[in-house]
Amino acid sequence: MGRWIGTLLLVVGLCMAAPTLAATRTDAVALLGEPALPPGFDHFPYVNPDAPKGGTVTLGSVGTFDSFNPFIVRGTPAGEISRVYDTLLRANPDEPEAMYAHLASSVVVAPDGMSVTFTLRPEARFHDGSPVTAADVAWTFNTLRTQGRPVYGQYYADVDHVSVDSERQVTFHFKSSGNRELPMILGQLAVLPEHWWKGRDFSRPLTDPPLGSGPYEVGSFDFGRTLVMRRVPDYWARDLPTAKGLANFSEIRTEYFRDATVALEAFKAGQIDFRTEMSAKDWATAYDFPAVRKGLVKKELLRHHLPTGMQGFAMNTRRALFKDVRVRHALALAFDFEWENANLFYGAYTRTDSYFSNSDLASSGVPQGAELALLEPFRDRLPPELFTRPFKLPVTDGRGNNREELREALALLKQAGWHVRDRKLVDAEGHPFRFEILLSQAAFERVSLPYVQWLARLGIEARVRTVDPAQYQRLLDTYDYDMTVTVVPESDSPGNEQYGFWTCGAAKNIGGDNLMGVCDPVVDALVAKVVNAPDRPALLAATHALDRVLLWGWYVVPQWYLQGVRIAYWDRFGRPPQPVRTGLAFDSWWVDPVRAAATDAARRAGN
């Protein structure tokens, strides 16, 4: 969990897949049809354009940081560092399939779909006052593709080259016209200053505060402990429609903790102002303290309308132990979600049964129509059940006595060559079935240990190992683990990111995101169908097919999802009244001087 995916949002953002340029507009791109906001719109609808600027907010983060370079494999970057940078286009969170000009004043896709041209705003400036130029855009692109994380090479694979047409105009030339999402992917490029990076090694962790053009800059820091981001008072884009009402805090201070329990206690003590709560147990039991009862701390569940992707125990198929699909299926059968949901999570969660859960992208029933047509050429390479039975996860009575599922699991293991000897599961040579579940947070041990007990009933020796976040990241980057917990995020319009999640090429890249090591020519072919889908119906068919093949591959033990964001905060903020599609848009909040003064006084008095 907690991979580098937050950084990736600089490039991928909220909108993925096959965009088309609105017919008469150059200030926006949309996947299908027209952007929702008209030309010349004043501000995004979910913000307060007159939100007051000022105040400090203190956040907490579990982990550490030793670098300000989030674009490379090496080092552990600070999470808030993305605020330093601006992108060519900016997404409207309430609109999943459109983006609007930000650093760029215009974006034009060639009639033949073989290129996209961005023209930069003349007023766009880095924090040192130097202009953002087309040369900076080209240098950033080429540097990320050659020295950045492997995922950049995957996203940009269909770009042939980039040309600098003038000081403010840059064109990306494509290898083909089929991948129509490229304008949006390139529009979310975080532009870096070439002149500042000269003499610095981009491939190494960065310890100098970076130069950017975004609304914040690094104010002060203590690696591994504290990072203070300071709002740029003369931020060049502050009056743009894509920036009004955002970046309202004068300072964003992030305190780093090595332990989630300590971070929660720091919040309760008033040292942290705002937090999102990931633990169902803590949400149900840890917020009955005096400040909550007095109304000084607010607690809310904000509903969202987003695909929730896949969270689960990921099996590393690079390991011989997990190469047999029957083994993976058996391990999934041993997990009793109903017991955990009732006894650990207070019934808060819904079982994840799709890689595109909580959306119309999820497969269901048996394949039909266009989806079946996509799968038919691969029938001899897919399990027969995929065509005749809906994919179903086991459902228990929640009492923890899942004997029927364990019997089915044991039968699959015997088919795969394993048998029980002296209450231990062994192979034909007598080697025990033994593996390790790697975690980065002790809080997840309470989820993993019951699973270990259920596996023990099969004779499997599983153990849980929790390491610090930095070591965890290094082990994930080099795929040095047996099983771990993963979250594969998905958007409303999946596209190029699927190459990084599922393909054979991605499985070999150090620091990639194909944690399970999926390498299947059928999956590769279906990913290509997703990326090159010409319209929404084709995208749905291709995604349903991909989802179905991945599910029947049993690469993960599916866990659960929540249709909302749990937040707790000290009552010192103002925020726009209207809900946002993403549930939370904290960047649109602000410090309310009156509320902050009263709450801060109460905190100082120990109330």
Write the CATH number for 529: 3.10.105.10
Q: In degrees rounded to 5, what are phi and psi of residue 381?
A: -110, 5
The helix, strand and coil proportions of the chain, stated in percent and rounded to the nearest 5, come to 30, 20, 50
Rounded to 5°, the CA angle 190-192-196 comes to: 165
Q: Are 580 and 94 in contact (CB under 8 A)?
A: yes
Collapsing DSSP to helix, strand or coil, 140 comes out as: helix
Count of beta carbons in the 10 Å neighbourhood of residue 144: 22
Q: Are 483 and 313 in contact (CB under 8 A)?
A: yes
From first CA to last CA, the distance across the chain in angstroms is: 36
In a domain, residue 148? The reply is: no
Rounded to 5°, the CA angle 81-87-92 comes to: 100
Q: Are 548 and 580 in contact (CB under 8 A)?
A: no
In a domain, residue 289? The reply is: no
- Return the beta strands (E) in 142-225 as ranges: 159-164, 169-174, 216-222
How many domains does the chain contain in total? 1
In a domain, residue 357? The reply is: yes
Ordered DSSP codes for 367-406: --HHHHHHHGGGGGGS-THHHHS--------SSS--HHHH
In a domain, residue 80? The reply is: no
Strand order of the β-sheet with 251-257 is: 216-222, 226-231, 251-257, 56-62, 274-276, 564-570, 297-303
Rounded to 5°, the CA angle 280-282-284 comes to: 70
Look at strands 159-164 and 169-174 and give their pairing. Answer: antiparallel
Collapsing DSSP to helix, strand or coil, 281 comes out as: helix
Backbone φ/ψ region at 570: left (φ over 0), alpha (ψ -120 to 50), beta: beta
In a domain, residue 370? The reply is: yes
Instruction: Say what the pLDDT of residue 20 is.
Output: 41
Q: In degrees rounded to 5, what are phi and psi of residue 118?
A: -110, 135
pTM: 0.84
Instruction: Say what the pLDDT of residue 61 is.
Output: 96
Count of beta carbons in the 10 Å neighbourhood of residue 302: 15
In a domain, residue 543? The reply is: yes
Mean pLDDT by 10 residues, the chain (607 residues): 36 36 69 86 97 97 95 93 97 90 95 94 98 98 95 89 98 88 91 98 97 98 97 97 98 95 96 96 95 97 94 97 98 97 95 95 97 98 97 93 95 97 96 97 92 97 94 94 96 89 93 95 97 90 98 98 96 95 96 96 86
In a domain, residue 581? The reply is: no
Domain containing residue 477? 310-561
In a domain, residue 392? The reply is: yes
Q: Are 582 and 306 in contact (CB under 8 A)?
A: yes
Residue with tokens 């970046």: 247
Instruction: Say what the pLDDT of residue 4 is.
Output: 36
